[in-house]
């Protein structure tokens, strides 16, 4: 059943969030992880940190846990828990891209050829949430890579001019129904 109160409205292509998304994607392609982290919502980065710590704690063996920690440049989970969420994001992104080990000329070509085309901008919750659909294009030495992204942003509650990207908004969410009665066993059939 569709919630009739939840309607998206088209927003202008020059909405301030468009510039934020373009700057964020440029930082990602440039592998400027501190810059990219600045565009992400604090609560989102904190959740990512909790998820990372939980995943490492659930490693099946101490060897696997140690390997996961080494990838992030730390020796134990307590170090991860003491890091700021932004620093953990930077460490994780650096680890991923070091593993990819793209040649410098390919990285340079990707940076130089990046194009970000905004396909649509819409808002919901009276414009406090904005969703932007973009198609990116970048070239390696042999191929053009095109991707389609949906990027969601929320307005800062303290400063209406600030917006932050919330990556998990694109994931399914589970919201408890306030009016739902607890599940009970069916009543027994009447005796005949």
Instruction: Judge whether 131 and 152 are in contact, CB under 8 Å.
Output: yes
Question: Is residue 4, in this structure, part of any structural domain at all?
Answer: no
Residue 22, domain extent: 11-170
The pLDDT tens digits for 39-84 are 999 999 999 999 999 999 999 999 999 999 999 999 999 999 999 9
> What sign does the CA torsion over 165, 81, 89, 56 have?
negative
pLDDT of residue 137: 96
Question: Is residue 42, in this structure, part of any structural domain at all?
Answer: yes
Q: What is the mean pLDDT of residues 115-143?
A: 94
Q: Does residue 185 register a pLDDT over 80? A: no
Give the closest residue to 23 by CA, choosing from 42, 40, 43, 10. Answer: 40
pLDDT of residue 17: 95
| Residue carrying structure tokens 């990219």 | 36
Question: Is residue 184, in this structure, part of any structural domain at all?
Answer: no
Question: Is residue 129, in this structure, part of any structural domain at all?
Answer: yes
Domain count across the chain: 1
Question: Is residue 185, in this structure, part of any structural domain at all?
Answer: no
């Amino acid at each position: 059943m569709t919630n009739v109160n939840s309607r998206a409205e088209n927003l202008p292509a020059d909405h301030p969030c468009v510039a934020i998304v373009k700057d964020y994607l440029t930082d990602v392609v440039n592998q400027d992880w501190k810059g990219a982290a600045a565009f992400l919502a604090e609560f989102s980065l904190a959740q990512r940190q909790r998820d990372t710590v939980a995943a490492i704690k659930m490693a099946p063996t101490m060897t696997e846990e140690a390997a996961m920690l080494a990838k992030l440049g730390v020796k134990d989970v307590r170090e991860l828990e003491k890091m700021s969420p932004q620093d953990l994001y930077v460490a994780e992104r650096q680890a991923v891209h070091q593993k990819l080990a793209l040649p410098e000329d390919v990285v340079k070509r990707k940076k130089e050829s990046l194009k970000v085309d905004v396909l649509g901008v819409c808002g919901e919750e009276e414009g406090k949430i904005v969703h932007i659909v973009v198609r990116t294009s970048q070239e390696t030495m042999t191929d053009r890579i095109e991707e389609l992204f949906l990027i969601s942003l929320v307005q800062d509650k303290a400063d209406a001019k600030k917006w932050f990207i919330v990556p998990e908004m694109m994931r399914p969410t589970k919201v408890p129904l306030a009016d739902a009665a607890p599940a009970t066993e069916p009543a027994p059939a009447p005796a005949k």
